[in-house]
Amino acid sequence: MEQLLEFQSVSKSYGKRTALRDVTLSIGPGRIVGLLGSNGSGKTTLMRIASGLTRPDSGTVRASGHEPGPVSKASVSFMPDKPVFESWMTVGDTLDFQRDFFADYDPGKASRMLDFMKLSRKDKASSLSKGMQERLQITLALSRRASLYLLDEPIGGVDPVSREHILNALMDFYEEDSTIVVSTHLVADMERIFDTVVMLKGGGVVLHEEVEQIRIDSGKSIDQLFKEVYAEC
């Protein structure tokens, strides 16, 4: 079975600080994967490398079967933790931008998502509240029929109602045969949607396991396990 995301001995440092240390990881299709870790554990760096925004110092990466670059970017949909749209754009402009550059953009899905997220095409994107901007970011990412979705902290900094709404959107609009990798440290809110979890600590992978298997083996929820693993962080 072809893996959608493969990391082979990937390391990345920023100056003296190690962000990723010898990470080896592979994720197949049709999964919702939780990428868990405390602040500074390397989640964002891993996602940025997978999306092609950051180059690793060493190791090899394949996303959607290709090295990160123009080809992989056409089939990988990345939602960074900061707004990806330009400050002058309206919500409509941001969607038109997606349509113009991505062949897998689905206008019908985008329209349904706009309704679901209660967004208006006429609203100026930068004037939206934090929660609504997160909704827009999710809409932009999921309006494509990508094979791999990378969502970096999609519910970070939003109120519980918006969190619920965003999670419901994730479940409703993701493609069955694609894979979603969601990074978060808000495990309790999100663990219900995960099939697999990957835990990062100090830039290295400390756990990569099926959620059901973890529950059977340890008798704990992912949130409880997370708190144990990161107790001293």
Partner 1 sequence: MLKLLKYDLKRDGYLILGVAAALALLQLFVEIGGRYRGAEDEMRIVFSIFSYVMAALLVVIKVCQSFLGSVRSAGRRLLPLRTFHFIGAGLLYGVLLMAALGVLGMLQLAYYMHTGMLGVQNISASGMLALLLSGGWTTIFLLLSFFLIMTVSESLRFKGRYLAAVLIYFILGSTISWVENGFLGGQVAGMMMFGARIQNPYSIIVQSSGFVGSWPALVFELLLAAVFCGIIVKLIERRIEAA
Binding site for partner 1 (CB under 8 A): 48, 51-55, 70-71, 73-74, 78, 80, 82, 84-86, 88, 93, 97, 100-102
2 vs 101, beta carbon nearer partner 1: 101
DSSP-assigned states of every residue in 129-145:
-HHHHHHHHHHHHHTB-
Q: Which two tokens stand for residue 128?
A: 């939206």
Q: Collect all residues with Cβ–Cβ distance below 8 Å to 217 and sequence separation of at least 6.
A: none
- Nearer CB in complex with partner 1: 57/189: 57
Compute the least distance from the CB of residue 21 to partner 1, in Å.
Answer: 19
For partner 1, the closer CB: 69 or 157? 69
Provide, rounded to whole angstroms, the least separation between the CB of residue 153 and partner 1.
14
Shortest spacing between CB 50 and partner 1, in angstroms: 12
Nearest approach in angstroms of CB 223 to partner 1 is 30
Alpha-carbon gap, residue 206 to 185, rounded angstroms: 15
The nearer residue to partner 1, 93 or 210, going by C-beta atoms, is 93
Min dist CB 6 to partner 1, Å, is 20
Which of 182, 184, 229, 233 shows the shortest CA–CA distance to 205?
229
* Phi (first) and psi of residue 114, to 5 degrees: -60, -45
Distances, alpha carbon 220 to alpha carbons 199, 223, 226, in Å: 15, 8, 10
Q: Which is nearer to partner 1, 84 or 193 (CB)?
A: 84
